Structure 1
Amino acid sequence: MNSLLFRLLDFTAAFFGLFLTAPMLLIVVILGYFDTGSPIFMQQRVGKNKKPFTLIKFRTMSVGTQSVASHLTSTASVTKMGGFLRKTKIDELPQLINVLRGEMSLVGPRPCLYNQEELIEAREFRGVFDVLPGITGLAQVNEIDMSTPELLAEWDVKMIKSFSLGAYFRYILMTATGKGSGDRVS
């Protein structure tokens, strides 16, 4: 598929998505100050060609929670508001800024942390880092998360090899309607 077409779709959707949700984003920021004192969460992630970028999300865990994959974090770390943000996927909306910047796509493999060595190795071996990471993708809508690195990398490849305009919109629609639960917290 034409990467310029997908970049145009990503940019347009991210721009209008941020514009249309701006009032809600502002409310979440204000409420987040009362919840954690620090509503925005930024973290270094592995991007296309393994280049680092700073992922932007709403904070869903207490300040000071260890920087590890969600499945390695205790549910006690998730704040009350954070639980709601995760359930509704509102915590992901600030990543539209990453999409505008060209660091992410709406659809692609979820960006991992640099300390997730097993996943990085599995993805590198399969060429997954040749594409932009995404907010959602095939693995996410099928409830495959980073707790199973080899399986996740295999599903990332399935998505990349079968990627089309229809799949792009299908994964976005499935995510928007609640398919997939995202990364699990133990």
Structure 2
Amino acid sequence: MKRIFDISMSLIALVVFCLPLLVVAVLVKLTSKGPALYWSDRIGKNNEIFRMPKFRTMRIDTPAVATHLLGDPDQFLTPIGHFLRKSSLDEIPQLWSILKGDMSIVGPRPALFNQDDLVKLRTEVGVHALTPGLTGWAQINGRDELPIPVKVDFDAYYLQNRSFLLDLKIILMTVYNVVRSKGVSH
């Protein structure tokens, strides 16, 4: 049931966001060197690595680490990078990963390939068995502002309480938070 919901909602979202996808891709290309999309190696279900697309918000010479580990992440942002992150428009290409089955609409956010501390904690509590999501319980409860152990606690809560109603609540809260740009620190 969840997979059917993911495919249906992703296809609808791609139709709705077709024009914004095109506009953002052109703006990224016009305002910085490099491709419009950035393909990030991420940790998926059962700790398998997959390639996740995002609109590129950072310069092409940015080190491949989590943004919070950069000394001054703002120095690496493209001219429209801050706006794309604040509005979450950089996340729209992940609909492709949902259609492929690498991601779900709701689940724990996929860790970067080198976030060993996050992967280790998630594996210890069984969260690694979930398909990562475009949004999740930790996302609506703090997003970038949460320390890793707290994120894992939220992910574990989601694992233990998964339901269609909880997913709907997370989706609605995500829309609310995106409109308010809540929880985006870089």
TM-score scaled to structure 1, two decimals?
A: 0.91
Does 2:30 correspond to 1:31? Answer: no
State the 1:146 CA deviation. Answer: 8.1
State the 1:39 CA deviation. Answer: 1.3
Q: Partners of 1:139 and 1:67 in 2: how far apart?
A: 23
For 1:28-67, what per-residue CA distance to the aligned partner results, in whole angstroms no more than 9, with x for missing partners? 1111101223211101100001111001100111112111
The SS at the match of 1:32 is helix
- The list of structure 1 runs, each at least 4 consecutive aligned residues, that deviate by more than 3 angstroms after superposition, is 144-147
* 1:87 aligned partner, one-letter code: K
For 1:110-152, what per-residue CA distance to the aligned partner results, in whole angstroms no more than 9, with x for missing partners? 1111211111110110111101000111111111448622221
User: How many residues align structurally?
Assistant: 180
What residue number does 2:125 align with? Answer: 126
Provide the alpha-carbon RMSD of the alignment.
1.5
Q: Partners of 2:172 and 2:67 in 1: how far apart?
A: 24
For 1:145-184, what per-residue CA distance to the aligned partner results, in whole angstroms no more than 9, with x for missing partners? 48622221111000111111111111111111225424x3
Asked whether the equivalents of residues 39 and 52 of structure 2 are also in contact (C-alpha less than 8 Å), the reply is yes
What residue number does 1:67 align with? Answer: 64
Structure 2 unaligned residues grouped into runs of 5+: none
* 1:139 aligned partner, one-letter code: A
TM-score scaled to structure 2, two decimals?
A: 0.91
What residue number does 1:22 align with? Answer: 18
* 1:181 aligned partner, one-letter code: G
Decide which of 15, 39, 44 is 2:41's aligned counterpart. Answer: 44
Structure 1 unaligned residues grouped into runs of 5+: none
What residue number does 1:6 align with? Answer: 2
Query: Is the alpha carbon distance of 1:70 and 1:146 closer, same or farther for their aligned partners in structure 2, counting shifts above 3 Å?
Result: farther
Query: Is the alpha carbon distance of 1:123 and 1:145 closer, same or farther for their aligned partners in structure 2, counting shifts above 3 Å?
Result: farther
Identity of aligned residues (%): 35
Asked whether the equivalents of residues 139 and 145 of structure 1 are also in contact (C-alpha less than 8 Å), the reply is no
What residue number does 2:163 align with? Answer: 164
